[in-house]
Amino acid sequence: MTGTTPTGNRKRRLRDRLPVRLRQHWKPVGALAVGLAVMVAFLGDVRISPYVTSASRAEADTITEDIPGTVDLYDASVAHSIQLTYQQTDFDKMMKEFKEDGTKDWIKADLVVDGVYLNDVGIRLKGNSTLMSLRGDQAKQGKQARQGDAEAGPQGRAAGQQGREGQADQDGQGGRGGGRGGGMVQYDLSAEKPEELPWLVKIDEYVEGRAYQGEREISLRPGANGQVPLNEALSLSLTDTSGQKAERYAFTSVEVNDRPAATRLMVENPDTDYADDSNAVLYKARAGGDFSYQGDDPSEYEGAFKQLNKKGSQDLEPVMKLIKWVEDASDEEFARYLDQYVDVESLAAYVATQNLLLNFDDMAGPGKNYLLRYDLDTKKFSVLGWDYNLTFSGDATAGPGDSTGMGGGRPGDGEGGDGQQPSGVPEGVPEGLPEGAEIPQGGPGGADGEGQERGGPGGGAAEHPLKTRFLESDAFDEVYLAAYQRLYQEFYASGTAAKEVKAIAGQARAAGAGSGELDTAVSQLTGTVTDRAAALAKDEQVTG
């Protein structure tokens, strides 16, 4: 009859409405559902950490378009040029956000490098304390210092005046602290002079898989024209001649949006391809992190280390194991088994190099400027240096047992090993933090702002457990001194450092940096190198 429903349809069972295949396998599906319910009920608040167990060496982030260019990007024998063009509105927005909250976002730009055009590269500001003048932080600090003088009374004002006079003396030496020609430069940066800003140029930020001569990133270092960082170029050159890994560099003229050209130092930025081979994983230490064990969850270490390559096939587990071992090992275990975790000769060379170059900001410094390279064949780590803008600062007479940076010297083994500030550091700067150092946002101790007293063996900004324990262990005296003596011969006794200063100065002048200010900087750096060589030549430990 019309308007009626057949009895079979009206009473159709629920199971009959399900697909035939699901009805046939309902028991396994039901068991899975029950199992998931139990897991949610009992494990709902438990963090499950993913681990990568693959031993693959494949690089997930491959280059698909490599632009060859016309001349080698880092060929120091030719003149280089860089032009950047961007929308002014993008730049203004980027600067506004940086001044308000310190964020350093990417903006699109067109790049012409040595005559080769690349559209839509990414550029962003690079640095921490070097960018303070852009945010007005220096003026704020000056106001706070004046308020502190007023509150401190006559004694405080006298100390403050002494510190300012000391800083004025250093400023009279080209703005460089300690040792004539080192880092610690306070740059007067301005949004009105973008050609002088420290930039990171990323070739593949908006065009995936693109590179220029195999490079994905180019760093334009702080300092322009007469303030180009000669000390950094010298440090990179000496490190490279010793056979250690060092970023390539060259001087270049830089134009931004038709502004006048400025002479800059461009440096290879450690990125995905910096390992140069397929059998190593690179981990870059972050300024806001530390070398302390945080448990077995890899995500807890993302604020301390950035994995640069082999993402997806390797993870942070080797770094976690190294940190835990260094933290837990007794002195005897450290001396006996270090070579099972670390390439000891490589570590000795790294530590000796930082001392010889008077690097105030090495792996134990506030910027934590180092990389860990994990060899997938030997299962051992080596330490790579980078960011040498605070080299040739401090006491030129420091020996192999003296501290030239943020801790790491042998306590009591010399004038620099007592934990005090190195010579040339302005008074009033917190212990262990040079004025102009790359201090992470949030305070001297890192992004969390807890200062130098942060937790445990790796918490302080004034030391690095691996470096400190290596230097304090008598078991490694021989290998360390052997590396130190060899590198002293290569750097100073051979005259290489003095020759390189002249060569680097010539490269800077050829790129357009010729000025009285540059001549003064060259003279100061030459003096530092001369003083360093003379002091080391008198040290029997060094000469053997």
Highest mean pLDDT among 50-59, 247-256, 387-396: 247-256
Banded pLDDT at 128 (limits 50, 70, 90): confident
How many beta carbons lie within 10 A of that of residue 243, not counting itself?
10
Give the Cα separation of 215 and 192 in Å (integer).
29
SS3 209: coil
Confidence tier at 18 by pLDDT (50, 70, 90):
low
- Which of residues 91 and 35 earns the better pLDDT score? 91
DSSP 3-state assignment of 504?
helix
Name residue 384's beta-bridge partners: 371
Quote the DSSP letter at residue 311: B
Instruction: Identify the band that residue 71 occupies on the pLDDT scale cut at 50, 70 and 90.
Output: very high
pLDDT > 60? residue 462: no
Give me the DSSP letters along 76-111. TTS--EEEEE--HHHHHHHHHHHHHH-----EEEEE
Residue 373: is its pLDDT beyond 80?
yes
Domain boundaries, the chain: 280-488
Ranking 124-138, 274-288, 309-323, 425-439 by mean pLDDT, the lowest is 425-439
Res. 226: pLDDT tops 80: yes
In the prediction, which pLDDT does 19 show? Answer: 56
How much of the chain, in percent, has pLDDT values that exceed 90? 59
List pLDDT tens digits, range 483-508: 999 999 999 999 999 999 999 999 99
Per-residue pLDDT, 282: 94
For the chain, first and last CA: distance in Å? 114
CA distance 326 to 518: 44
- Per the listing, tokens 């301005």 go with 190
User: Using CA atoms, how far apart are residues 543 and 484, in angstroms rounded to an integer?
Assistant: 9
For the ranges 306-315, 427-436, 485-494, the maximum mean pLDDT occurs at 485-494
pLDDT of residue 24 exceeding 60: no
- Determine the pLDDT at residue 15: 52
Taking alpha carbons only, the member of 45, 473, 534, 497 closest to residue 230 is 497
Instruction: Give the SS3 label for residue 282.
Output: strand
Pairing between β-strand 249-256 and β-strand 81-85 as defined by DSSP bridges: parallel
pLDDT (tens digit, 9 = 90+) per residue, 255-275? 999 999 999 999 999 888 786
pTM: 0.77
In this model, does residue 334 exceed pLDDT 70?
A: yes
Which stretch of DSSP H or E encloses residue 212? strand 210-212
Which residues contact residue 386 at a Cβ distance below 8 angstroms, ignoring those fewer than 6 apart?
247, 270, 369, 370, 371
Q: What is the pLDDT of residue 494?
A: 98
Mean pLDDT of 389-409: 80
Q: Give bridge partners of residue 480 from the DSSP assignment.
A: none
Lowest pLDDT segment from 30-39, 160-169, 399-408: 160-169
